[in-house]
Amino acid sequence: MIDTQKKEPVTQIASQEKHSETSAAEDEINLLELFYVLVKYKTIILLLCAIGFSGGFMAARMKGPTYISEAVLIPKESDGGRAPNLGAFGAFGGLAGLNIAGNPGLEKIQLYLESRTFNSEFIEKYDLTTEIYANAKNKWLSRAYREHFDTASGKWNEEIILARSDQLAGVLSNTVFKKNITKEGTLELKAISKDSLFSYKVLNACLEYLNNYIQTSVQTEAKENVNYLERQLFSIADPLLREKLQEKIAAEIEKAMIVSKEAFKVLDRPFCTNQHREKKLYPVAGAFAMFFGSSGLFIFLHYIFGAGNTNSESRKWIDKIRREMKRII
């Protein structure tokens, strides 16, 4: 009796484990079954992929190419190859003097290009508001241009209130201009737009205005420093101190002279190229999207309305999905 009672639970446990393993095996996804579904609906899947490829190609054509104008800048070097001793007035020391390895001049130029004040004054100087609206990636600006600008007369509708130049400064700095200081000690400045004329024009204008802006800033500061030092020179009798002041005056004069002709050097003048990666990217992306989307849909329908796992646990969830789908319909 004792042996029989011991064997029965062992048999029951073994039967339960076998049933559990069978259920788990039935509940597993069979990769060959999924492959069968793809082969079964291959014609429709291929047709949808072709539609996705064509749609991507048309989207790329509608978007059109992107035009990039690029220029390469380096800081201006002093003729004597010596950096002036600017002391406390060294805000433009990197620009005027010439430690190219550290590139302080390039960093200063980059700060100007990212400045809201600089970009706002630049937009006003060259009246770029309309062109920024026409070439902006921002959908609100683009829609405002399409709906309110009359291209025939070249005028805006009276009811629109245009954004101020300081509001458009961020658009110009962040979406049109791209800045990059390279390890070779140069500053790559790019203007990116869907209009080749605008890309070329805005980069040339930016270089011209940036040069004048830096020249004015440096020379104004140098003149103010010289005037201050000269006033101090008249009130000091100590010859050593007078000599130091004279050195500083000479340094300020040298700083102004360095940028008198040009504030920086342009190694490569603006050159415009077109970039149309969308012609390759959009069709391929469209085809892949349709392939994965249609494949997932057919596999889903196969499990809901076709074969697939048929054990009680899977069937319970399939029935629930069906009921929810009917409620939606």
Q: Tell me the average pLDDT across 216-236.
A: 88
Report pLDDT digits (tens) over 27-76: 566 677 778 878 888 889 999 999 988 888 888 777 777 888 999 998 87
Task: Give the C-alpha separation, 192 to 203, whole Å.
Answer: 9
The pLDDT of residue 315: 64
CA separation for the pair 77, 259 (Å, rounded): 9
Instruction: Give pLDDT, residue 320.
Output: 67
Q: Residue 30 has what DSSP assignment?
A: P
Q: Where are the alpha helices (DSSP H) in the chain?
A: 2-27, 31-40, 42-63, 93-97, 104-114, 116-126, 129-135, 139-148, 165-171, 196-234, 239-258, 278-305, 312-328
Q: Report whether pLDDT(161) > 80.
A: yes
7 CB-near residues (< 8 Å, 6+ apart): none
* pLDDT higher at 292 or 77: 292
* Single-letter amino acid code for the residue at 190: K
- What is the rounded end-to-end Cα distance, in angstroms, of the chain? 62
Q: Which residues pair with 149 in a beta bridge?
A: 156
* Residue 271 β-bridge partners: 70
163/80: higher pLDDT: 163
Q: What is the mean pLDDT of the chain?
A: 77
Report the percentage of the chain scoring pLDDT > 90: 15
H-helix segments, 64-195: 93-97, 104-114, 116-126, 129-135, 139-148, 165-171
Q: Among candidates 219, 184, 185, which has minimal Cα distance to 75? A: 185
pLDDT at 84: 39
Q: Are 178 and 190 in contact (CB under 8 A)?
A: yes
Whether the Cβ atoms of residue 174 and residue 49 lie closer than 8 Å to each other: no
Single out the residue of 328, 226, 251, 271 nearest to residue 93, CA to CA. Answer: 251
User: In the prediction, which pLDDT does 193 show?
Assistant: 87
Structure tokens at 268: 């490569």
Identify whether the C-beta of residue 210 lies closer than 8 Å to the C-beta of residue 112.
Answer: yes
Three-class DSSP category at 161: coil
Distance between CA atoms of residues 215 and 151, nearest Å:
37
b vs e for 231-264, b when ≥16 Cβ sit within 10 Å of the residue's Cβ? Answer: eeeeeeeeeeeeeebeebbebbebbbebbeeebb
Q: What is the reported pTM?
A: 0.61
